């Protein structure tokens, strides 16, 4: 009996598994060479010729146009990692790929995928437990430690030469935006400036708005400024003119224009009466209003972005008002200085000396656009790890130390598991060693030799022993100052395991049309409810959106 439409493709059993595993592994393979301090970069060119040069796992995978559904599940691993921690995106994907690779061998020797999945899950749980036991405590007071963590996250990412300086800025930035509610790194904004060297990057405790004052007659700088935030327009609405004016003689027109001017003047007066020295306006400002504002000595900025208004509110303590009729002195915020300054040839408004910054801006300088972009991505990772460290207070040594240690401990644990799951736990242990192995490969070292050294040192109880990618020696990573937050590793293991298990459990791929695209969005209305339901289910499995059509 034929239940599938002619166009659909179906792959089942071993074939489906092997197709998905191959796709997942291919994704991991594509970022593998970027791992670690000696990892290489990728150049990605999009269809319109835009170029991105990066070492950042999640960026590479997002830029690549991946549309195989199983491959997309691996891409999602890096995206989760990016959202949760910010760093470790390559690590997570490389582990997922290796879990699939190890599974392939076991499936070939007839271990059932469900058994494998169970073993992997058990191993992942145990791994997280072991890591939590081994993690080292750090306190928020230990600034030096935080700087080291910030710096490790930037290793090998184009920020090398100024890593120490940038790490200090990152720690300052995170500490500045921390409050009772926690840390929101969105309050750290990054202004990229092409020109100058990375070393000259700086942190401004306050907000920089990428705008200029609207009128040259306004002050360049205001000290001890009362700041108003108005999310509206300093204009008289056009529609009112259309609706009300029916001009019969010139006097009438003049009267009307006078009336309009009066309205604008009133708006400006309300701001001036409330005591505003500076106003950020969300929409436009009429020429006449600009003139009145300048007359009042008010520095005004138009078309401020919503996000800027929010940041300014947080920094200055102002309330964003939507209607000028309501504005009062208490709605205004305060800044010690508001000034228009030149940054690499562009004029920006700096709002500084705010009571409690809570919003800071990093001015990131670099020789070329590509350099600055990549440094920004490194900064992003670095902000993430400092935040996570402050939240959890737990770190691990880097350089493949935790993975090597886990592999040893999990092999012991496997004996206690017994049954066929034992093989899966052992495979999991082997898979984790892909990290030290890849770090060695990428550093041009012999991966077997390095792994043997590492295992021996861990066997002897040296938890912190990791691979120094620069010298090839196995050294104590903690003493060397190479540490990473615990959560980078636990999150990587968790998402990698979930994705691998999900892929392994699939034994049937039913696609409307071929897997490379076609047949997307079949709008033929008569295929009823059931096929839609199937499509929804597949979409939930990641990346198969658009495949639910005729079936
Ligand atoms: N100085 C160092 N020596 C050895 N390994 C390092 C050093 N700095 C970072 N690493 C290791 O590099 C790996 C992270 O590499 P990275 O390219 O940033 O990938 P990810 O996207 O996974 O963060 C981690 O295993 C980390 O411990
Ligand atoms: Mg990293």
* Mean pLDDT score, 270-289: 96
CB of 385 shorter than 6 A to ligand 1: no
CB of 398 shorter than 6 A to ligand 1: yes
| 56 is known as an active-site residue | yes
Phi, psi of 29 (to 5 degrees): -60, -35
CA of 406 to the centre of ligand 1 (A): 17
* Mean pLDDT score, 80-97: 97
pLDDT of 3: 78
**pLDDT grade for 322, boundaries at 50, 70 and 90:** very high
* Interhelix angle 143-154/369-392, nearest 10 degrees: 140
pLDDT of 544: 36
CA dihedral 533, 534, 537, 542 (to 10 degrees): -130
Tokens representing residue 57 in the block: 């796992």
pLDDT of 447: 96
Residues with Cβ within 8 Å of residue 252, at least 6 apart in sequence: none
User: What distance in Å separates the CA atoms of residue 88 and residue 492, rounded to the nearest whole number?
Assistant: 7
Judged by phi (left if over 0) then psi (alpha if -120 to 50, else beta), residue 158 lies in left
Whole-Å CA distances, 244 to 236, 240, 256, 262? 13, 6, 10, 16
Exposed, middle or buried by CB within 10 Å (0-12, 13-18, 19+), for 175?
A: middle
User: What distance in Å separates the CA atoms of residue 155 and residue 260, rounded to the nearest whole number?
Assistant: 60
Instruction: Choose the most confident range, by mean pLDDT, from 92-106, 355-369, 517-531.
Output: 92-106
CA of 398 to the centre of ligand 1 (A): 7
| 490 is known as an active-site residue | no
- In contact, 369 and 194? CB cutoff 8 Å: yes
- In this structure, the residue with its CA closest to atom 27 of ligand 1 is 398
Considering only the top CATH level, what class is 13-136+397-547?
mainly alpha
Ligand 1, atom nearest to 156 Cα: 17
User: What distance in Å separates the CA atoms of residue 264 and residue 176, rounded to the nearest whole number?
Assistant: 39
The CATH topology of domain 207-352 is GroEL (3.50.7)
* Sheet of 483-485, strand order: 136-137, 394-397, 483-485
pLDDT of 439: 97
Whole-Å CA distances, 410 to 26, 103, 404, 492? 26, 16, 10, 17
Tokens representing residue 330 in the block: 């208490």
pLDDT of 514: 64
Domain ranges of the chain: 13-136+397-547, 143-196+364-392, 207-352
What share of the chain has pLDDT > 90, as a percent?
74
pLDDT greater than 80 at residue 267: yes
**pLDDT grade for 532, boundaries at 50, 70 and 90:** very low
CA of 58 to the centre of ligand 2 (A): 10
| 438 is known as an active-site residue | no
CA of 313 to the centre of ligand 2 (A): 33
pLDDT of 160: 81
pLDDT of 244: 58
Out of 59, 80, 90, 497, the active site residue is 90
Query: Higher model confidence: residue 450 or residue 524?
Result: 450
User: What distance in Å separates the CA atoms of residue 302 and residue 229, rounded to the nearest whole number?
Assistant: 11
Proximal ligand: closest to the CA of 78: 1
| Nearest CA-CA partner of 258 in 233, 238, 236, 278 | 236
> Which residue in the block uniquely carries the two structure tokens 């071993």?
14
CB of 438 shorter than 6 A to ligand 1: no
| 89 is known as an active-site residue | yes
User: What distance in Å separates the CA atoms of residue 354 and residue 320, rounded to the nearest whole number?
Assistant: 17
Out of 381, 430, 453, 522, the active site residue is 381
Tens digits of residue pLDDT in 395-436: 999 999 999 999 999 999 999 998 899 999 999 999 999 999
Exposed, middle or buried by CB within 10 Å (0-12, 13-18, 19+), for 529?
A: exposed
* Residues, the chain: 551
pLDDT greater than 60 at residue 199: yes
Mutate to test the pocket of ligand 1, among 36, 94, 395 (most ligand atoms within 8 A of CB): 36
DSSP string across 240-298 = HHHHH----SHHHHHHHHHHHHHHHHHHHHHHHHHT-SEEEESS-B-HHHHHHHHHTT-
> Which residue in the block uniquely carries the two structure tokens 């405590």?
137
CB of 90 shorter than 6 A to ligand 1: yes
CATH number for region 143-196+364-392: 3.30.260.10
Query: How far does the chain reach from its first CA to its final CA, in angstroms?
Result: 14
| Nearest CA-CA partner of 220 in 78, 397, 349 | 349
Tens digits of residue pLDDT in 147-167: 999 999 999 888 888 999 999
pTM over 0.80: yes
User: What distance in Å separates the CA atoms of residue 80 and residue 1, rounded to the nearest whole number?
Assistant: 42
User: What distance in Å separates the CA atoms of residue 300 and residue 214, rounded to the nearest whole number?
Assistant: 6
Bridging pattern class, strands 299-301 and 278-281: parallel
Phi, psi of 514 (to 5 degrees): -85, 165
- In contact, 77 and 499? CB cutoff 8 Å: yes
CB of 464 shorter than 6 A to ligand 1: no
**pLDDT grade for 1, boundaries at 50, 70 and 90:** low
**Out of 192-206, 272-286, 449-463, 476-490, which region has the weakest mean confidence (pLDDT)?**
192-206
User: What distance in Å separates the CA atoms of residue 396 and residue 145, rounded to the nearest whole number?
Assistant: 12
User: What distance in Å separates the CA atoms of residue 37 and residue 445, rounded to the nearest whole number?
Assistant: 13
Ligand 1, atom nearest to 401 Cα: 27
| Average pLDDT over the chain, rounded to an integer | 89
| Helix, strand or coil, per DSSP, at residue 150 | helix
């Amino acid at each position: 009996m034929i239940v599938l439409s002619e166009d659909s493709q179906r792959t089942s059993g071993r074939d489906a598994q092997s197709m998905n595993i191959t796709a997942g592994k291919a994704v991991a393979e594509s970022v593998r060479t970027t791992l670690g301090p000696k990892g290489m970069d990728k150049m990605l060119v999009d269809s319109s010729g835009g170029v991105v040069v990066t070492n950042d796992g999640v960026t590479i995978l997002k830029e690549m146009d991946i549309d195989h559904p199983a491959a997309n599940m691996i891409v999602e691993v890096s995206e989760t990692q990016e959202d949760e921690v910010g760093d470790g995106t390559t690590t997570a994907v490389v582990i997922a790929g290796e879990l699939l690779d190890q599974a392939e061998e076991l499936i070939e020797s007839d271990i059932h995928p469900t058994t494998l999945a169970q073993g992997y899950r058990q191993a992942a749980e145990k791994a997280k437990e072991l890591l939590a036991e081994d993690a080292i405590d750090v306190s928020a007071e230990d600034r030096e430690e935080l700087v080291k963590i910030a710096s490790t996250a930037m290793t090998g990412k184009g920020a090398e030469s100024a890593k120490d300086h940038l790490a200090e800025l990152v720690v300052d930035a995170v500490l500045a935006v921390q409050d009772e509610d926690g840390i929101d790194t969105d309050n750290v904004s990054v202004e990229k400036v092409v020109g100058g060297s990375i070393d000259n990057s700086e942190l401004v405790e306050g907000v920089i708005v990428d705008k200029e004052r609207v009128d040259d007659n306004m002050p360049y700088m205001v000290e001890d400024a009362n700041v108003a935030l108005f999310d509206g327009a300093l204009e008289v609405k056009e529609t009112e003119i259309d609706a009300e004016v029916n001009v019969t003689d010139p006097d009438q027109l003049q009267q009307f224009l006078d009336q309009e001017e009066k309205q604008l003047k009133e708006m400006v007066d309300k701001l001036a009466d409330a005591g505003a020295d500076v106003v950020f306006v969300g929409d436009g400002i009429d020429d006449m209003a600009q003139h009145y504002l300048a007359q009042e000595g008010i520095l005004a900025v138009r078309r401020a972005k919503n996000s800027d208004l929010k940041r300014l509110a947080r920094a200055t303590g102002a309330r964003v008002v939507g209607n000028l009729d309501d504005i009062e002195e208490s709605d205004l915020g305060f800044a010690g200085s508001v000034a228009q300054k030149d940054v690499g040839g562009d004029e920006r408004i700096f709002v500084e000396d705010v009571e409690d910054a809570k919003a800071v801006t990093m001015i990131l300088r670099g020789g070329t656009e590509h350099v600055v972009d990549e440094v920004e991505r490194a900064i992003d990772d670095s902000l993430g790890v400092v935040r996570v460290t402050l939240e959890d207070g737990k770190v691990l040594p880097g350089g493949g130390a935790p993975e090597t240690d886990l592999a040893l401990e999990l092999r012991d644990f496997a004996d206690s598991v017994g049954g066929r799951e034992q093989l899966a736990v052992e495979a999991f242990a082997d898979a984790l060693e892909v990290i030290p192995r890849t770090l060695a490969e990428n550093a041009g070292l012999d991966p077997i030799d390095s792994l043997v050294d590492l295992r021996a040192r861990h066997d002897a109880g040296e938890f912190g022993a990791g691979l120094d990618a620069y010298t090839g020696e196995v050294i104590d990573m903690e003493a060397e100052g190479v540490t990473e937050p615990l959560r980078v590793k636990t999150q990587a293991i968790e998402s990698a395991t979930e994705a691998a298990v999900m892929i392994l459990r699939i034994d049937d791929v039913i696609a409307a049309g071929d897997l490379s695209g076609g047949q997307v969005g079949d709008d033929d209305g008569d295929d009823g409810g059931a096929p839609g339901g199937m499509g929804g289910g597949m979409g939930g499995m990641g990346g198969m959106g658009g495949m639910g059509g005729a079936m």
